[in-house]
């Protein structure tokens, strides 16, 4: 089961990297909706992995662990890629996210300039590495808990 989870985890990470690269190329990778939609490959890849291996992964526990391992691998590799990309290639995503946050602030607010400084200091490649890894694992765990319910282990 672990070898299959690694395979599908690698597929998930490649799909997420491709998704990020395409949307970053168009300059919209820092937008909120685009960021949350990047988790759509998780249920698709987990379901395909479970469906294609339903004869060898039959119990709910094994299905859940399979999905969880796929998610961990996908989240780690995808976030590591994004971290190195943002540091060494292009930080457009960070600049867009910071700009969107600053534009949503009230300029007449008491802490306006302090808030801008906090945003700029918090939204970094390290933040995206941590957030991407943790959120990918959490979202993957939830999907892994639900996906086995949709995969029939019996042949028709």
Q: What is the pLDDT along the chain (156 residues), one digit of tens a residue?
A: 789 999 999 999 999 999 888 887 887 766 677 778 888 999 999 999 998 988 888 889 999 999 999 999 999 999 999 899 888 887 777 777 788 778 888 888 778 888 888 888 887 888 889 988 999 999 999 999 998 888 775 544
- Asked whether residue 11 is assigned to any structural domain, the reply reads yes
In a domain, 102, yes or no: no
Q: Please check whether residue 75 lies inside any domain of the structure.
A: yes
Residue from 61, 68, 58, 59 nearest 6 by CA? 68
Cα within 13 Å of Cα(110), Cβ side: 0
Contacts of 65 (CB under 8 A, 6+ apart): 1, 5, 144
- Whether residue 12 lies inside any domain: the answer is yes
Q: Whole-angstrom Cα distance, residue 109 to residue 91?
A: 28
Does the residue 41 lie in any domain? yes
Total domains present in the chain: 1
48 assigned to some structural domain? yes
Do residues 19 and 136 make contact, with C-beta atoms less than 8 angstroms apart? Answer: no
């Amino acid at each position: 089961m672990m070898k299959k989870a690694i395979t599908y985890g690698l597929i998930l990470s490649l799909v997420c990297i491709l998704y990020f690269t395409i949307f970053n190329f168009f300059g919209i990778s820092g937008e909120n909706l685009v960021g949350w939609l990047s988790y759509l490959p998780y249920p698709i890849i987990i379901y395909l992995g479970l469906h294609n291996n339903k004869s060898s992964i039959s119990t709910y526990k094994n299905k859940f662990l399979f999905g969880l391992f796929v998610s961990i691998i996908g989240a780690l590799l995808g976030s590591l890629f994004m971290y190195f990309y943002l540091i060494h290639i292009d930080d457009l995503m960070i600049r867009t996210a910071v700009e969107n946050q600053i534009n949503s602030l009230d300029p007449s607010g008491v802490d306006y300039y302090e808030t801008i400084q906090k945003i700029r200091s918090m939204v970094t490649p390290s933040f995206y590495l941590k957030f991407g890894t943790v959120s990918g694992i959490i979202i993957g765990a939830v999907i892994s808990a639900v996906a086995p319910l949709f995969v029939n282990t019996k042949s028709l």
